[in-house]
Structure 1
Amino acid sequence: MGITTSLNPWTTLMHSDRGQKVSPELGFGTMVDYRGQHAESIACPADPRWVEYIADIYGEYAKLQPKELWLEDDFRHYNHTPIKLACFCERHMKIYSEKLGRKVTRTEFVKKLLQPGKPTLERKIYLSVARVEMKKVARLIQKTVARISPTTRLGLMSSFPEWHAVEGRDWDGLFDSLSGTHLRVSRPHLPAYNEVSPLQY
């Protein structure tokens, strides 16, 4: 009948905690925000256990051979309730320190990151790390899905444009990592994303 199916798993590293906790069986680390607040269930995007886990999960979804398989863009560092700007866990602080060439505390790094005016080295490092991690996750998911269901296209569901601006998202790099040999597929943010009234829409 010409009907095709797409699959939307809805979340990657979790939009927000929502009362959940990471199962000890999975054992991956969670995000830490700029104030030092630890998430209960929002995965740290640099934790290799989580990266492997999410790629394997998308491999399972790919077995259904949908035409499109969607990724929420929540595998980003920014805007996860109850934490906001992240990730500043021990793993990430080690990454930031290595790139700075000296050991730095979360408080010191965040102060320079959020300093008004011309972008600091800390801000450039933070944004670069966030971009690289998004592309790395997308690339591994794409390779896993392509191995299992070569005809399935991966699509990206995007949120608020101001969030993308805050994180300095690398759109070309992200879509290249996600699409493989397929065309880029995107579901952009639209007013109805917030379920506003039809009149406003």
Structure 2
Amino acid sequence: MKTTFKKVAPLFFLFTLTGCQQLQDGVKSLDSSINDLNNKMRGTTGNSVKSTKTNDLDLSNASMISGLGSICSDYEGNSMSASKKWENKIVSIRQAKLIKVTEFNSAKTMGADVHGEYGVLFTTRDTNKCIGTFHIEYYAGLENDILKYKKGDVVNLTGKIVELTTASNWSEYKATSGDSIVVKLTGSISK
């Protein structure tokens, strides 16, 4: 019996190590994907919540828009055309109403070794079918800065439109009944 154990033990040990290595490779892949997403969602300098990155967006040439209504109207008409027209544009929106201040990065809560990604969900007066997400890349002090904002605050936003999408099954984005159109931005926020 001891001979069988001596023969089986190394095989068991080898299979266990192989499984651990595959698990570690999966976690590294998840971390890499999260880092890629974080790199796409760079924060920028703002009045109250800002990034200290050296490659900040140039927000000085932002186009003033009245709200998310025109973006959402374009998206409802033709999502591909709207994406081409609006994505990567720098816009400034006045009097956006916050509906949630939150940590967006669920990978951190699943144990991934990443910083949280904070931001806000917001609406504008010109539409009830469209909501926006505003992401801020992590920097030292962000946890304190984000605490200055709360649901119901009216803020000014200037940022880059990163993506247009539909939030048909994301309950946290449901500001109204029906499928909401989500405009994802990254940039600066101020009261």
Larger of the two Rg values belongs to structure: 2
Taking structure 1 as the reference length, what is the TM-score of the superposition? 0.22
Taking structure 2 as the reference length, what is the TM-score of the superposition? 0.22
- Determine which structure has greater relative contact order: mean sequence separation of CA pairs < 8 Å that are 6+ residues apart, divided by chain length: 2
The structure whose residues are more often helix, as a share, is 1
